[in-house]
Amino acid sequence: MTLDHSKKKAAGDGLILGVETSCDETAAAVVARDGSVLSNVVASQVDIHSRFGGIVPEIASRKHVEAIVPVVEEALLRAGCSLDDLSAIAVTQGPGLVGALVVGLSFSKALSIPLGLPLCGVNHIQAHLLSLFLKDIAHEGRKGPVPDFPFIGLVVSGGHTSLYHVRGPLDMELLGSTRDDAAGEAFDKVAKLLGLPYPGGPVISALAERGSPEAFSFPRARLPKTPFDFSFSGLKTAVLQKVTELSNRDERIPVEDICASFQAAVVDVLVEKTLMAASEYGLRTIVAAGGVSANPMLRQQMNRKAEEAGIACFFPRPEFCTDNGAMVAYAGWFMLEAGMTLAPDADVYSRLAV
């Protein structure tokens, strides 16, 4: 990568480079102010981690170090731009795996400081909740309908399952979150116990299409005292008990039916609580984002129930559901405009304060 210090653009009139390394994807993207995605490059480490049935943090960090420079170079190349065209760099500052986040932040500091570019430290959750505003110019050419603020936002991924009252791009109030496993983590763990590959979500949702969601009655944790919180560990244990019981009786494990019934239990709770939050806060719009929001059954059920309740429902394009640099870049625009830039000694954070 070559650095040309001679030409610099004024902040706000160019492009933002977004860098994401919070988990197991090394990702970079170039995004314009209106959300047009000029490039979106994701180097997934799934093949490596799948051998272990889940993410190994030390391996994730090492792989980010190897991938970050080629991934950013590729993002600039595909966007047809150079570092001189950038107004700022946005990087995921947290939450996520500390050793993984550090790679993206250190790289972004090393790039932004000599270039004199502002650096924005993006909250990964906020980025997911803004991902549905991205326009994929390569595939779409234009943006579909987008929601108005405020809305209820469900972030549902491998690391997070939380409900937010989203008042503006950088103004989000946490209403509740999972007390144990994230929904995506439950998909991954159930896949592992069924002997299916990592990540479990896409495999389970494909197998579920050939199974019956009513075959097994798995528990739905409703948590009436804290209705916007989630819990999926009981569900995972119930699946484990059923599989153990069937194998102890030497019965065939009906994998498709288990997948469909497990998925139905997760989807029911996610849809129910999101709509309950919309009703409680008197909002007519809901948004679901994050890796699990790619799930076709979740999309179908959420659309159906929202329509019945007269509520508008939005999801990101599939390629922006899982971790990517474009959502980070787009969130970065709002931070840049709000003057929220990072000091050179800024550190990553593994968890959110609230």
Residues that bind Zn ion (CB under 5 A): 157, 323
Does position 166 interact with ligand KG4 (CB under 6 A)? The reply is: no
Of 111 and 181, CB closest to ligand KG4: 181
Give DSSP secondary structure letters for 49-103. HHTTTS--HHHHHHHHHHHHHHHHHHHHHHHT--GGGEEEEEEEEESS-HHHHHH
Of 78 and 299, CB closest to ligand KG4: 299
Choose from ligand KG4, Zn ion, none: what does 18 bind? Cβ within 5-8 Å by kind. none
**What is the closest distance, in whole angstroms, from the C-beta atom of residue 323 to Zn ion in the complex?**
4
Contact present, 12 and 61 (Cβ < 8 Å): no
Does position 201 interact with ligand KG4 (CB under 6 A)? The reply is: yes
Options 38-46, 230-238, 273-281, 289-297: segment touching ligand KG4 (CB under 6 A): 289-297
Does position 257 interact with ligand KG4 (CB under 6 A)? The reply is: no
Among 18, 95, 169, 199, binds ligand KG4 (CB under 6 A): 199
Of 157 and 205, CB closest to Zn ion: 157
Nearest to 85 by CA among 97, 95, 100, 75: 75
**Eight-state DSSP code of residue 144:** -
Of 87 and 161, CB closest to Zn ion: 161
Of 274 and 322, CB closest to ligand KG4: 322
Give all strands (DSSP E) within the chain, no chain letters: 15-20, 25-32, 36-44, 86-94, 119-123, 135-136, 151-156, 161-168, 171-177, 285-289, 312-314
Contact present, 77 and 38 (Cβ < 8 Å): no
Q: Which residues bind ligand KG4 (CB under 6 A)?
A: 23, 157-159, 184-185, 187-188, 199-202, 205, 290-292, 294-295, 322-323
